[in-house]
Amino acid sequence: MLSRSRIRPGSLGGIALLFAISVAVPAVAFADELDPLHLNPLSLTKYVDPLPVPAVAAPVAPNYYEIGAYPIVQRLHSQLPLTALYGYGTSAATASYPGPTIVARKGVPISIRWLNFLPPGHLLDYAYDPTIPRAATTTGVPISTHVHGAEVESQSDGGPHAWFTANFAETGPDFLDPVKTYVNTQLPATIWYHDHAFGYTRHNVYAGLAGYYLITDPGLEPQGLPAAPYDLGVCIQDRMFTLDGQLWYPNEGETEVHPIWVPEFFGDVILVNGKVWPYLEVEPRKYRFRFLNGAQARFFSLALADRMNSTPGPAFYQIASDGGYLSAPAVLNDPSDPQSPRLLMGPGERCDVVVDFSAYAPGREFLLKNTAKAPFPSGRPADARTVGQIMLFRVVALKGPDTSVLPATLVPVHRLSNPVRTRVMTLNELSVAEGPTGALLNGMPYDAPATEYPVVGTTEMWEIVNMTKDAHPIHIHLVQFQMLNRQSYNLSRYAQAFSAANPSLPATTYAPVDVTPYLKGKPFAPDANELGWKDTFRMNPGEVTRILVRFAPQDESPDFAFDATTGPGYVWHCHILEHEENDMMRPFHLVAPTPALAFTDHASPAAAATALDLVVAPNPVGAAAEVSFRLPVAGQVTVDVHDVAGRRVCALVQGRLEAGPHVIAWRRASDPSGPLPAGVYFLRIRFAGETRVQRLVLAR
């Protein structure tokens, strides 16, 4: 039995408690002296195990799958004992880390019944911080599988509150049905699936719950690209281990505010497709690699180098990003150009690249190296002996002619334009003298009512102002978006203005501050490999990143193949998992477009957006109140009340009203939904694509 002690792992930059877990007995145990119990990553011989290729998931009926989360054991390196993990699989016998690859075809819907076989007692329960909210369960470990990058109805999105435990003994407030439908109407792309359960995401993904999901379309995809077995997924993650080969995750934080939570996790061992520092034998021909950054928080800056003399290896030709193909290949790591950019990936991003080994004789070996600092971009340099190395490519004899090609053009990308509105969004950090205590979007916690209600079929520009010191990979559910540009700004002056408008954080409301007066220099355009569709994008510190977000399908259809306005809604968040869960995630809801309004001389479109004049009196509200507002023109209007968790608790108005002032008498005791208890609520009015929110206090 191990007992309590401390270790100072160099890649974490702090003191943490080490935990070891027996494969046979998943019980918590600690040790008196930890340094000897932390596995030294240099004790593992690199490049002795071949790169695994995850199996393709088999349906149990046409276009219908059953995939469960199971407790498993798996050998992650030939010098390690079996490691206790969680894995997805079509059965207990086939469950693995990573999970099986789901291959779908564009335009052919599939259904997946997600199942949970995880017993009570999480592998990483020792690292649970009670100050960080998570799903309250007593019957097991909850899961909520999210297909990252999928164009999907919110009921099937796998949001944080759609969780369920084994045998559906307990379910979250957004859980509706274990069978999720994926319409696959988007462009062919490399997307992926992973757990997203509320407060469990960082631990469940770390334990192994992730896998590839590929959308294919032979009629649309470029012809002649490398195909199986020369088309491979390369999922890169970092981990730490105890001496007995079990996963270790920190369980001592930096501050007393959150005594266990760590701001980011940076492991000292690299795994690719679930194998520690593997090798891949490659023929002298072209290969397609579908790179996925599946790490908790680590960015990767990747390039190949000759193992013997460190000279640059073959170039990368990036052909696709998160949401599909680029218009033309983007050249990275060009050995003839010292200024050629590297392949930079934040957590959650995917990059499909073609690498041509045809110029190299059998026996040549190339290391895939990483030079990204952690945290990115100005943290600690990657240790060249450990996390600075990813995997080895070993050239062997050619087995047959290479008939694949790298097309000069791929799939034209329709560039978005003409946004109907601009939103200023902020990335914020909370901290005390000892260190960070959390991160926020728009200065608001996840459970504050939604403030974004985009209209289906419209394009918006989001100006995302990074007010922190690190880069953040921001992911938006449901949609793909495009980068417009980046621009530097004066952080100190903007922070003053932001603090004046938002004096206390976290807040229940958000007052956006125009960043225009604080901009510096000229905007700079995206790099060549950033010109495609994205669902996750790097937001650099000290910069405003402008993205165009179209709340409609990629194929320019005006509406989705499902009603995106129903169900629990969607979220957008940082994909650094430790940030996402404390508390860098926000909900958003789509609304249906209203019919075109016939504006008069006295009611311009601008007036419709600003003249709602929502007032509640008295506030605090006693037994009754009056809700007044003014409509500049006739149209559909919704007025409803939400609790602090964002749930609608009563509806006051739903329908068409004429132009002019309106007064709604509201009596709490006679409300059809029943009397509301005292507390804080939010009154929301939606009209002509605009939303106004008023904070309410219901008195006793």
Domains of the chain: 6-216 (2.60.40.420), 231-395 (2.60.40.420), 421-588 (2.60.40.420), 605-698 (2.60.40.4070)
Give yes or no for residue 564 having a pLDDT over 80: yes
Q: How far, in Å, CA of 161 to CA of 210, rounded?
A: 18
Question: With bands split at pLDDT 50, 70 and 90, how would you rate the model's confidence at 668?
Answer: low
Per-residue buried b or exposed e for 95-118, using 16+ beta carbons within 10 Å of the residue's own CB: bbbbbbbbebbbeeebebebbbbb
Identity of the residue numbered 531: L
Q: Are strands 389-395 and 279-282 parallel, antiparallel or unpaired?
A: parallel
Q: Which 8-state DSSP code applies to residue 51?
A: P
Residue 218 predicted with pLDDT over 80: yes
Beta strands 286-293 and 324-332, pairing class: unpaired
Q: Which of 390-399, 469-478, 672-681 has the lowest mean pLDDT?
A: 672-681
DSSP per position, 97-111: SS-PBEEEETT--EE
Q: How far apart are CA 203 and CA 577, in angstroms?
A: 9
pLDDT range class, residue 404, cuts 50, 70, 90 = very high
pLDDT value of residue 2: 23
Tell me the per-residue pLDDT of 116-167, one tens digit each, with 9 for 90 and over: 999 999 999 999 999 999 999 999 999 999 999 999 999 999 999 999 999 9
Tokens 């799939």 found at: 411
**Which residue's structure tokens are 């995106």?**
564
pLDDT, position 669: 61
Are 464 and 425 contacting, i.e. CB atoms less than 8 angstroms apart?
yes
Helix (H) or strand (E) holding 203: helix 201-207
Q: Is the pLDDT of residue 641 over 90?
A: no
Question: Do 398 and 287 form a contact (C-beta atoms < 8 A)?
Answer: no
Q: Per the confidence metrics, is the pTM higher than 0.75?
A: yes
User: Is residue 37 helix, strand or coil?
Assistant: helix
CA contacts within 13 A on the Cβ side of 268: 21
Q: What's the pLDDT band for 645 if we cut at 50, 70, 90?
A: low
- Sign of the torsion formed by the C-alpha atoms of 157, 158, 159 and 163: positive
* Average pLDDT of the segment spanning 371-395: 98
Name the DSSP class of 353: E
Which positions ≥6 away from 337 have C-beta within 8 Å?
A: none
Band of pLDDT at residue 689, cut at 50, 70 and 90: low
The pLDDT, as a whole number, for residue 492 is 97
Torsion 444-447-453-458 (CA) sign = positive
Contacts of residue 13, defined as CB under 8 A and 6 or more positions apart, other chains included, come to 266, 380
